[in-house]
Structure 1
Amino acid sequence: MKLDFTILWIDDQPKHVRSFSEGMKFRLRDMGFDLQILTAETLDQVDEYVRGHVHDDAIDLVMVDYDLGTGNGNGGEEALQKVREKFPFKELLFYSASDRELLREIAFKAKVDGAHFSTRLSLVEDAMHVVNKLVSKVLDIDHMRGVVMSASSDIDYMVEVSLLSVYGRLSDEEKLAFRASIVGQISKKIDDWQKDLAKGAGKESLEKLLALRHLFSANDRLASLLEQLSCGWTTEQHNQYLEKVKVYKDTIVPKRNKLAHVMLKRQSGQPPQLIGATGSWGVDDMTKLRCDFIEHRENFQTIAVLVDAPLI
């Protein structure tokens, strides 16, 4: 789940959807999620939201009105069955004007599993109960780190393309001044870094130097470790570990750095992709990268043990 929480809302009365969703939107915002509503007034309209993979549509919850305007109570029975067929792994919330138990009976007879039930009077509270259950599954520290990184990457991407767009509209003279201004900012930063480096170099502590993360990056640390190990390790087995480190440094790190500046893009009828200035990434690419990270993580764990590094 991203910063967005997306509901596919199937109801033939859009004004009711708007009314109920406003209260949910504010409550979700307090939880750190932005509510997105996809609406459908008929079952036929639902088809445009169906995707080949359960994660491709970004839908977190499907809410279904029992009587979809038929006036005889038959519309919802058909809706429940068809929506479950179209979204076999989604959470469903099935609601009617007043009779929650009737909905349970219908779902039982139709052999529809995994559905929640509500009435219009308690719809917001019941829907938020389902939302809370879904959200609680992903509100762990590691996932939240991913959410923050994803959101910051989206912003970084938009800032960069916006900056390039603004620059493209300037006159030649203004472009020259703009570039000169950036060079000035970088020069000042270098001067400040020189002062920080002088302070760190004056202390007899590697930790003090490593604390200068803006000067000695993760990639710098990796290169330094590789250099030091290459000087002391000579066996064939040790060399195998070092070769993997080189592969990680030369191929995996550049990919990781590129992924820090991409944005998730969804197109109708197409699987989602991560789009950046240097190319795009699909599901298969990410699966391969995850496999690579697992392999390299194991290699670095072995190296850490061999050099007696304290692992958490």
Structure 2
Amino acid sequence: MRLDYQILWFEDQQNNVEEVAKGLSTRLSRLGFNLKVQWIKPGSDLNNTFGNIKNIVNNFDLILLDYDLGKDSFNGADIAKKLRRSNLLTDIIFYSSASPSNLRRFMFDHHVDGVFCINRNNLQGESFEIIQNRIRKILDINHMRGIVMEVVSEFDESISDLTKNLESKIDCSEKRKEISSFIQEKITTLGSKNVSQISNIINNESGYMFEELINHRACSSFIKYEVLKRMLEDLEDKYNITNILEVLKKYNEDVIAPRNELAHVKPTEEKGKTVFKVGDKLYGENEFKLLRQNLLNHRDNFNDLKNLLINGNLEEVQRE
């Protein structure tokens, strides 16, 4: 599990449970997770239905399975049996208008173990309790540190792609030199040992290589962020990106600083709970929930910016 909580949902009448899905999405967002649902409408027969999903079922955090799938030849219990016989360990919630005791009887008759049985009327509340309990069990603070490291690496790649896209649209050599000098200044401040390499890249007689420059090991996450912010500040008056830029300005405080703090600190005990302690600052359950929410916010912001570039709303940058 990362920032996305993924559900594989078997249901032949999706409209009947869409409100349940919306409710789960709202509750998960409060915990700092984004809900993704892949809906499965049963095929013509059991083997066809199972064949379409057998290679992806292990990618999901939870499977929701209706009993009545609108088929005479098979039902949800048959699919549950197929899933368990394929050695799937993922949690399964089996629901219908029948009572939980009757649903458990269906599972027993099909020789299926380890399935949660819920009446449709209680599906949202009881499903969320199961989800929340599972999250609490697996999401220890070391796991959360791993999520932060992985997502920030993903953000680094997004920032690199965005800066390369923006730089490719600049046809003014002076502006290119200005951006290059800005990168050189940032890298010089953080470590003079790489300055000669950076200078060689910029002054390379065979051609200036922005990609090589932005991907240089000395061009840290913070410098990449600063470069992107600098490029976008030049565009703020010309394009409607003030909101995007305002979110981006919080990136160091919301993402880079916590990532750097969590990269090296060790867990400790505080009031009977395991936390990360950095000076007087604690990272516990509440702090990680806020951090996950911030990560989702910045991921959405990068996606919005990418969509602007791809859709052509930033087809050209200001030229001198």
Shared fold, TM over 0.5: yes
The residue number in structure 2 matching 1:180 is: 178
SS in 1 for 2:68: coil
Would you say 1:62 and 2:63 are equivalent positions? yes
The residue number in structure 1 matching 2:142 is: 142
The residue number in structure 2 matching 1:125 is: 125
1:26 corresponds to which letter in structure 2? T
Listed one character per residue, the Cα deviations across residues 52-90 of structure 1 (whole Å, up to 9, x for unaligned) are: 8x7xx42011110001014x7952332222233346211
Once the two structures are superposed, the pairs formed by residues 95-106 of structure 1 within 5 Å of their partners are 95-106=95-106
Higher relative contact order (CA 8 A, sep 6+): 2
SS in 2 for 1:118: strand
Determine if contact 1:66/1:73 at 8 Å carries over to the other structure: no
The residue number in structure 2 matching 1:77 is: 77
What's the TM-score once normalised by structure 1's chain length? 0.55
Looking at structure 1, the residues matched to 116 and 123 of structure 2 have their Cα atoms a distance apart, in angstroms, of 11
SS in 2 for 1:162: helix
Change in Cα spacing, 1:216 to 1:147, as seen in structure 2 (3 Å) is farther
SS in 1 for 2:108: helix
Looking at structure 2, the residues matched to 183 and 45 of structure 1 have their Cα atoms a distance apart, in angstroms, of 58
Determine if contact 2:78/2:110 at 8 Å carries over to the other structure: no
State the shift of 1:138 in Å. 2.4
1:178 corresponds to which letter in structure 2? R
Change in Cα spacing, 1:159 to 1:66, as seen in structure 2 (3 Å) is same
Listed one character per residue, the Cα deviations across residues 124-165 of structure 1 (whole Å, up to 9, x for unaligned) are: 111112111221122211111111111111111111012112
State the shift of 1:108 in Å. 1.5
Unaligned stretches of 5+ residues in structure 1: 194-213, 218-253, 262-312
Change in Cα spacing, 1:179 to 1:45, as seen in structure 2 (3 Å) is farther
The residue number in structure 2 matching 1:162 is: 162
The residue number in structure 2 matching 1:39 is: 39
Determine if contact 1:98/1:121 at 8 Å carries over to the other structure: no
Once the two structures are superposed, the pairs formed by residues 1-312 of structure 1 within 5 Å of their partners are 1-42=1-42, 43=46, 44-51=48-55, 57-70=58-71, 75-86=75-86, 88-171=88-171, 173=172, 176-184=174-182, 186-187=184-185, 190=188, 193=189
1:49 corresponds to which letter in structure 2? I
2:51 corresponds to which letter in structure 1? D
Give the number of equivalent residue pairs: 193
Change in Cα spacing, 1:169 to 1:106, as seen in structure 2 (3 Å) is same
Looking at structure 2, the residues matched to 66 and 121 of structure 1 have their Cα atoms a distance apart, in angstroms, of 14
Give the structure with higher Rg (CA).
1
The residue number in structure 1 matching 2:287 is: none
Looking at structure 2, the residues matched to 131 and 150 of structure 1 have their Cα atoms a distance apart, in angstroms, of 22
SS in 1 for 2:59: coil
Looking at structure 2, the residues matched to 40 and 73 of structure 1 have their Cα atoms a distance apart, in angstroms, of 17
Pairwise CA RMSD of aligned residues?
Answer: 3.0
Looking at structure 2, the residues matched to 10 and 108 of structure 1 have their Cα atoms a distance apart, in angstroms, of 20
Divergent runs of 4+, >6 A: none
Change in Cα spacing, 1:80 to 1:185, as seen in structure 2 (3 Å) is closer
State the shift of 1:119 in Å. 1.1
Unaligned stretches of 5+ residues in structure 2: 194-216, 225-320
Change in Cα spacing, 1:95 to 1:3, as seen in structure 2 (3 Å) is same
Change in Cα spacing, 1:126 to 1:47, as seen in structure 2 (3 Å) is farther
What's the TM-score once normalised by structure 2's chain length? 0.54
